[in-house]
Structure 1
Amino acid sequence: MLQSLSSNSCVRLIQSNRSAWYFVLLALGYALYLVFGAVVFSSVELPYEDLLRQELRQVKRQFLQDHECLSEERLEEFLARALEASNYGVSVLNNASANWNWDFTSALFFASTVLSTTGYGHTAPLSDGGKAFCIVYSVIGIPFTLLFLTAVVQRIMVFSTRRPVQYVHTRWGLSKALVGMVHAILLAFITTSCFFLIPAAIFSALEENWNFLESFYFCFISLSTIGLGDYVPGEGYNQRFREIYKVGITLYLLLGLIAMLVVLETFCELQQLKHFRKMFYLKKEKPEDRVTILEHDHLSFSSVSDQASSLREDKTGEPFVESPPLAYLSPDGSINR
C-alpha cells in the first residue's frame, strides 16, 4: 500500500513539474511574440510616421508663408482646438459637418461597440453625464452581453457542430476526431466567406475611399473586437441612406461576433486542441490527492486514516466513524498491533 501511494504521488509530482515547465515556455513564447510584433510594427510604420510628420511641417510652413498676417501661436491654438474636437468625433470640415454622432442610429451603433468591447474610439461621450452613464451602462451591459452571446452560441453549437459531427460519425463510422477537424475547417471557410470576404467586397463598393484590403482589414479588426477606429463605415459626407446603413452595420457586427464565437468554440472542442491545452493547465486536484503522504519515519496509519475520514466527511456531509487502526508505527520503527 505504501509503495502504491508513493509511486502515485511521484507520478503526479512529475506531471505537475512538467506542466509548470510547459507554462514557463508558454509565458516565454508569449513575451517573445510581443517583442516580435513590436519590432515588426516599429520597423514598418516608423518610416511612414516620419514621412507624414515632414509633410505636415512643410504644409504648415507653406501656410504661414502664404498668410503672413497669421502668427504661428494663433495657428497652433486653432489646430489644437480642432484636433481636440476631432478626438470626440466632431470635425470642422464642411464635408463632415452634416454627419451627427449622436442621432439615434449613430448612438445605437456606439452602444453596440461599447457592449461588444469593440470601441472604435471615433465617438466618445462629451458630457459628464454621458461619461457617468457609459460607466454604469458598461458595467451592467458587458456581462449581460457575455451571458447573451454564451446562450446563443451554446444553442447554435448543437445544430452547427455537435449534431452534424455525431451524425457523420455514426452514419459512416468515421473517426470522430477526423470528422470534427474537417467540420471545423469547413465551418471556418464558410464563416470567412460570409463575414469577411463578401462584406469586404460590399464595403469597398459602398465606401468611396476604401479598397478591398482596407475593407477586409475593417472586418477583421471589428469582429476580433480590436476596434482601432481608423476605419469606420458610414462617416462619408455623401453617404446615402446613412441611418439604414448604420443599423445594417450594427446587425453585421453582432451576427459576425456570434459567428466568430461559434467557430472558436468549434475549434476548442477538437480533441487535438484539448490535449494541447492540457499541457499548460494545472492538473485538477483529485480527492485522494488531499491525503498527504508524510515521511516514512513520521508515518502512521492513524494519520492517513484521519485525513481519509475527513475526505469522506467532505463528500457526504456527515461525519465518518473510523474503526480503530489495525496497526501503527512505533517511534522505533516497529509495527505494533
Structure 2
Amino acid sequence: MAEGFCSKVTAILRKLYKGLKSLTGLIILLVLYNIIGAVIFVELEAPYEKKLVIKGKPEHKELIRLLTNVAVALNSSGFEILRNKTFDLINQYGVEAMESKSEGTWDFWKALFFCATIYTTIGYGNIYPKTDAGKVAAIFYAVFGIPLAMKVLAVLGKKLMIILKFFYLLVKRCFKCKGRNNNRYTVRDKQADNVDSVELSEIDKSDMKIEQENKEERIKKEIENKLPIAVPIIILIIYIFLGAIMYTLWEDWGYLDAFYFVFISVSTIGFGDITPAHTKFFIVSSIYVFIGLALVSMCINVLIDFYIMSIKLAIHQMDVVKSTVKKGCRCGSRRQSI
C-alpha cells in the first residue's frame, strides 16, 4: 500500500514538474507568484501607511490653519496679491495632499504593479517598501522572482522566434515558388557538365571536395533560412511606437513622454520620473511591458542564433584551409621524393 501511494505521488509530481516546465505552466506560476507577492506587500505596508496618514493629519491641519491666519492678517492693499496667492496655495496643495493621503500607495493593484517591477528588474522607484519587514520581503521576492521571470522571458522569446521564423520562411518560399523550376534545371545542367569533365583519376579528390562543398552549402543554407536580425528589431520598434500611442490615450502624456516611458521600461532602465497614474491600467501596462521584454528576448535569441551559425561556417572554412595546406605539403614531399 505504501509503495503504491508513493509511486502515485511520484507520478503526480513528475506530471506537475513537466507541466511547470512548459511555457503555459511557467506563465501560470509567474502570475501566481505576482498575486502572492501583492498580497504580502499589501499586508506589510498598508497598515504602516495608514498610521502615517493618521499621524500626519494634525500637522497638516495646523499648517493650513497657520497659512489661513497669515492670509487673513494681510488685509492691506499692498498685500492683496500675496494674500490671494496664499489662499491659492491652501486650496491647491491642501486638497491635493488630502486626496493623495486618502488614496494610499499600497492597494492590491499597485502592489501587483510593484511586484512586476521587481522581477522584471525595471524598478521605477515610485512605489517602494518603507517597513523593515517589507524591505526584507522585497529582497527575498527579487531573489526568487527574477530567475523565474528570466526563465519565462527566455522560453517565451524562443517561442516567438520560432513562430516569426515560420511565417518568414513561408513568405520567402511563396516569393521563390515561381523560380524553383528554373533553378533546378540550371543546377542539374551544371552538375551534368561537372560530371562529364571529371576524370577517373581524380574521383577520390573530387569526392572529398564535393563533400566539403556540400557541408559548406548546408551551413550557408542554414544561415539563409535563419531569421534576419532586422525583422524582430523592426517588430520591436513598431511595438514601442504602438505602445506610445496607447499610453497617450490612457494617460495625460504627450507622444514623446509616452515613447520615452515605453523605451525606458522595455530596456529595463526604469528611471521612474514618468509612471502610469491610473490604477485600472496597471495590469494591462504590466502585461504590455512584459510582452515587450519578451520581444527583446526574441531579438537576443535571433542574434545568438545568427552568431552560432556564422561561427560554424568560419570553423568549417578554417578546416578546409587546413586540409588544403596539408594536401599541398604532401604533394610537395612526393615530388621531391620522385
TM-score normalised per structure 2? 0.46
Of structures 1 and 2, the larger Rg is shown by: 2
TM-score, L = length of structure 1: 0.46
Instruction: Pick the structure with more helix per residue.
Output: 2
